[in-house]
Amino acid sequence: MRRIACLTHLTTGILALMLLCCFYLFGGATRGERIAMDALGHLDAPYVLGKAGPEQFDCSGLIVHCFKKQGVSLSHSAEDIGADARGRALSSPAQLRTGDIVCFDTVQDRDPSDHVGIWLGGNRFVHASSAKGKVIVSELTGYYLEHFTGGRRILCPYF
């Protein structure tokens, strides 16, 4: 189990390094890339329901915190973030870009967005996981792909 955790951190570190290289090669980071890097900076921060940082987060709190640093004010609610009319709705993972919000229906109710995260690219997203008790990076496969309800591009025009 420890070996898997080390590999996950190594993979996340490689992803962060790739993003930094892109920033230097292409003349700076987009707002979406800055949001993703900020979210990655909170890896392993504790999950605490109702918190929006800077040291503890719930899923929507992480989104609110990272977007606020880019001048975007969002509601501290996964449901509201998933339905935010300012953003472009994205129905397919193929449409996602770094910094987009990913939405999941994890509770059997009429709300299609009870969990949110920030898309990193490479089929990965960062989120505050109540199940793991901290901010983590996950792949959009298995459970998350089955519960994926779409994404939101709040930063329009795109970055």
Q: Which residues are catalytic?
A: 59, 115, 127
Amino acid (1-letter code) at residue 19: L
- Taking a C-beta distance cutoff of 8 angstroms, is the pair 108, 99 a contact? no
Burial of 72 per CB tally in 10 Å (0-12, 13-18, 19+): middle
CA-based nearest residue to 137, from 23, 34, 14: 14
| Separation CA 154–CA 35 (nearest Å) | 12
Query: Tokens in use for 151?
Result: 């994404």
Annotate 95-148 with three-state secondary structure. Answer: HCCCCCEEEECCCCCCCCCCEEEEEEECCEEEEEECCCCEEEEEECCHHHHHHE
